[in-house]
Structures are given as structure tokens and as C-alpha cells.
């Protein structure tokens, strides 16, 4: 009886020991499972972060290519400051984008190198991005070089235009001064010609001429006479003077070979045949009529 009881107690002890070991194994397995799940989540987050960076860099490169496609250096010409300023701003923005992309790609490469993951496709994509950024860098460098050349050319053209403008202004001022001198000379010449070509004539009866002091006895134009009684003419334009009389006699001195007294419709007309000779002795013409 006592032996049976001892065996029973021994079996109960084994069972109790077995029951105590089951909860310990469960906790270990559960902890391992939680650790694996957390590692998987961290891995997914890390991979997702890598590809988000790749997509961001690729989108930025695509935008840079689009901008390069619309930059037209040929539109720069003359003094188009607005176009030049815009292109300078666009090229500077491309340079900033390139710098940011390089920084992001470098950070991505450093993250990949620290990671325990080995993703062949990701490494190939990063290599492709590096190649694209190298190409973009060369393109931007070419744009900057061409832009600098055109900017220098425009500056040179602007200096030339300013020099030519100054020269034109100087020539214009000289021309204006010369024109003024010519005008003054022409005015002087015209006034002189008008003076040379100006003459005066009068015709009237003996009494009328005496009353105006033009005739005194046998002398003509010797005393103070009324000059307002004379008619002023331009000797270059006047070669025919109607006298409205059936009798006419020239009292002033003029070469007889330089004129003719002719009758037209019964009245005398003085025709000057050589104006220079006719007015060479006197600029005053006095004719006595009835």
C-alpha cells in the first residue's frame, strides 16, 4: 500500500514537472515570432524607403530633361534682357536640382551600403541614376558654356551699339551745326542776292515827278526824293513793265542796248532785254509819261 502510494506520488511529480515546461516553450516561440515579424516590417519599410528615394530622384531628373527641352538659346539676340535673364534663372535652377539629386543619391547609396539587404535590381537602378545625373551634369555644363559665350557676345554688341549711338549723336550734332551754318549762309546769300536783285521804278507825268522831288529842272534823282513813290521789284523776275501811256521817255540812266520801248495796243511797254546790264548803272528807273 505504501509502495503504491510512493509510485503514485512519483508519477504526479513527473506530470507536474511536464506541465510546468509547456508554458516556457510557448513564450520562447511567441517571442521569436514577434521578432521575425518586426524584422520583416523593418525590412519592408527600408525597401519602401529605398524605392521612394529612387522614384523621387527619377522624377526630378525627368523634370530637368523637360526644362532642358524648352531652353532655347537661339531666342537670345540683341538686347533682349528679359529672355537672357529667364534663361540664366532656368540654368541656375537646373544646377540646384542637379546638386540636390546628387545629395539624395549619395544618401541612398550610403543607406544601401549600411543595409543587410542585397537587392540586385536596386543596385542596377542606382547605377542608372548615377549615369543619368552624369549626363545631366554635362548638359548643364554645355548650356552654361554657351550661355556665357552668348552673354559675352551680347555685352560686346551692347558696347558696340552704345558706341555707334554716341557716334550717331555726335554726327547728328555736327550735322545740325553744319545745317545751321548752311542755313545762315543761304540766308546771307539770299539776302545779298535779294539786295543785288532789288530795284525800284516809277512812271508819271512831269508834274507828278517834280512834286515827289524825283525830277528837278533837267536833273533826275539829284535831290531828296520820295522813295516810297517807287515800286520795288526783283530784277530777276521783272523784264516787262506796262506804262499805260501813248508817250514814254526814260529819264534815268540805263544802257540803251539793254531795253526796248514797244507799243502794245497803242500803249508803251518797257521790255528789259538784258537785266544785268540794264540795272548796272542805277537801281532806280524813272519814266516820264503823259
Looking at residue 7, its pLDDT comes to 47
* 260 pLDDT more than 80: yes
1 pLDDT band, cuts 50/70/90, is very low
Looking at residue 82, its pLDDT comes to 67
Ranges 186-190, 254-258, 263-267, 273-277: which has the least confidence = 186-190
Helix axis angle, 81-114 relative to 120-196, nearest 10°? 170
Looking at residue 240, its pLDDT comes to 93
Taken as a whole, the chain contains a residue count of 290
The whole-angstrom distance between residue 168's C-alpha and the CA centroid of its chain comes to 17
Options 1.10.760, 3.30.70, 1.25.40, 1.20.58; which CATH number does 28-170 get? 1.20.58
Distance CA 239, CA 234 (A): 9
* 264 pLDDT more than 80: yes
* 245 pLDDT more than 90: yes
Distance CA 284, CA 143 (A): 88
Looking at residue 2, its pLDDT comes to 39
268 pLDDT band, cuts 50/70/90, is very high
Q: Per-domain residue ranges for the chain?
A: 28-170, 197-289
Selection from 50, 66, 136 nearest residue 101 by Cα:
136
* 17 pLDDT more than 60: no
- How would DSSP label each residue in 207-269? HHHHHTTSEETTEES-S---GGGSEEEETTT--EEE--SS-EEE-S---GGGEEEEEETTEEE
Looking at residue 4, its pLDDT comes to 44
Looking at residue 5, its pLDDT comes to 47
Looking at residue 288, its pLDDT comes to 95
Tell me how far apart the 2 most distant CA atoms of the chain are, in Å.
206
* 287 pLDDT more than 90: yes
Amino acid at each position: 500500500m505504501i509502495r503504491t502510494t510512493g509510485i503514485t506520488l512519483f508519477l504526479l511529480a513527473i506530470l507536474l514537472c511536464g506541465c510546468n515546461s509547456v508554458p516556457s516553450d510557448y513564450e520562447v516561440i511567441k517571442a521569436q515570432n514577434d521578432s521575425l515579424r518586426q524584422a520583416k516590417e523593418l525590412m519592408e519599410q527600408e525597401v519602401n524607403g529605398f524605392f521612394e528615394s529612387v522614384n523621387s530622384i527619377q522624377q526630378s531628373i525627368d523634370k530637368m530633361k523637360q526644362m532642358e527641352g524648352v531652353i532655347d538659346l537661339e531666342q537670345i539676340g540683341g538686347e533682349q534682357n528679359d529672355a537672357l535673364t529667364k534663361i540664366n534663372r532656368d540654368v541656375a535652377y537646373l544646377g540646384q536640382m542637379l546638386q540636390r539629386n546628387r545629395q539624395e543619391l549619395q544618401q541612398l547609396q550610403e543607406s544601401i551600403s549600411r543595409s543587410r539587404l542585397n537587392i540586385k535590381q536596386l543596385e542596377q537602378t542606382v547605377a542608372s541614376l548615377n549615369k543619368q545625373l552624369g549626363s545631366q551634369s554635362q548638359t548643364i555644363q554645355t548650356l552654361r558654356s554657351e550661355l556665357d559665350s552668348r552673354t559675352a557676345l551680347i555685352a560686346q554688341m551692347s558696347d558696340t551699339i552704345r558706341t555707334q549711338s554716341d557716334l550717331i549723336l555726335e554726327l547728328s550734332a555736327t550735322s545740325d551745326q553744319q545745317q545751321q551754318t548752311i542755313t545762315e549762309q543761304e540766308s546771307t546769300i539770299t539776302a545779298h542776292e535779294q539786295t543785288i536783285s532789288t530795284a525800284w521804278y516809277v512812271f508819271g507825268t512831269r508834274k507828278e515827278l517834280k512834286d515827289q522831288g524825283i525830277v528837278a529842272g533837267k536833273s533826275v534823282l539829284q535831290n531828296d526824293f520820295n522813295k516810297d513813290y517807287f515800286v520795288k521789284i526783283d530784277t530777276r523776275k521783272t523784264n516787262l513793265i506796262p506804262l499805260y501811256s501813248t508817250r514814254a521817255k526814260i529819264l534815268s540812266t540805263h544802257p540803251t542796248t539793254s531795253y526796248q520801248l514797244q507799243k502794245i495796243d497803242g500803249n508803251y511797254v518797257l521790255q528789259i532785254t538784258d537785266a544785268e546790264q540794264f540795272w548796272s548803272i542805277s537801281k532806280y528807273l524813272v519814266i516820264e509819261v503823259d
